[in-house]
Amino acid sequence: MSLWTRITEAVSALAKGEGLSRVFEHLRTPPERRVAFAIAIIALGAKMAKADGQVTRNEVSAFREVFQIAPEDEAGAARVFNLARQDVAGFEEYAARIKTMFGRKTGALSDLMEGLFHIAMADGHYHPDEDLFLERVAEIFELPEREFQRMRCRFVPDVAPDPYLVLGASPDDSLAALRKRYRAMVRETHPDRMMARGVPAEATRLAEKRMVDINRAWDEIQAARGA
């Protein structure tokens, strides 16, 4: 059964009068968590599109920045988007329910935030309202401010990314400590690790971009230190 078939089944609860935000309450076990991860990105992406006023942009194209979506599954993805956009529940309620579902598994929440940054930048622009939206979601997820800024510097092309911030490190760290940090981030970015946290296999672009950014940061640090 494909991810998108399972998503369609999950949102069928809406026919029984449940709001989309309540779907997350039924998706807490590990296999279903991958379904919840996909729904969470689409649902919050829909709310974010509404926040920046770009409700007419091609949502399926934006989701392709995160997921591999087969043509036959596009209708299912668009349905979730439209349900979230029309739902009376606000994005803060969505974010709070998602935080409850993942609990203290901050790795999964960080993965989800990266997916939202992918979608925010899918149209090539980063709207101030998107920035406020993402910052508030990060607060609800209880992600550290430095973690949010680390993602922001990777995705938003207003300044060159700080390689130390990308690695979550300090310029005062030794090269040995930086190498250890780099290797740890590579391990955490492995698709198997991400899938264990609840990231669907279809969302491989999250790992691809993160690895590009991590490797570039490490190369820049080594070059600057003559290593």
Compute CA distances 194 → 50, 132, 197, 217, 219, whole Å. Answer: 29, 27, 5, 21, 24
Which pTM value belongs to this model?
0.82
CA angle centred on 201, ends 199 and 202, rounded to 5°: 100
pLDDT at 214: 95
Alpha-carbon distance of 143 to 223, in angstroms, equals 31
The pLDDT value recorded for residue 56 is 47
> What are the tens digits of pLDDT across the range 132-191?
999 999 999 999 999 999 999 998 877 678 999 999 999 999 999 999 999 999 999 998
Residue 160: left if φ>0, alpha if ψ -120 to 50, beta else—which one?
A: beta
Question: What's the start-to-end Cα distance of the chain, in Å?
Answer: 49
pLDDT in tens, 204-226: 778 888 999 999 999 999 999 88
Of the two residues 85 and 41, the one the predictor is more confident about is 41
How far is Cα 214 from Cα 209, in angstroms, rounded to an integer?
9
Does the structure show a pLDDT above 70 at 118?
A: yes
In the chain, where the domains are located: 3-224
Task: State how far the Cα of 111 lies from the Cα of 199, in Å rounded to an integer.
Answer: 7
Of the two residues 25 and 56, the one the predictor is more confident about is 25
For residue 17, pLDDT over 60 is answered with no
**pLDDT 10s digits, 27-74:** 655 557 777 788 888 888 888 877 655 544 555 677 777 777 777 777
> Residue 202: what pLDDT?
75
Q: d(Cα 27, Cα 5) in Å, to the nearest integer?
A: 15
DSSP 162: P
The Cβ of residue 51 has, within 10 Å, a number of other Cβ atoms equal to 20
Quote the radius of gyration of the chain (alpha carbons, Å): 18
Give the DSSP letter string of 42-106: HHHHHHHHHHTT-TTS-HHHHHTTT----GGGHHHHHHHHHHHHH-SS-HHHHHHHHHHHHTT-H
pLDDT the model gives residue 66? 79
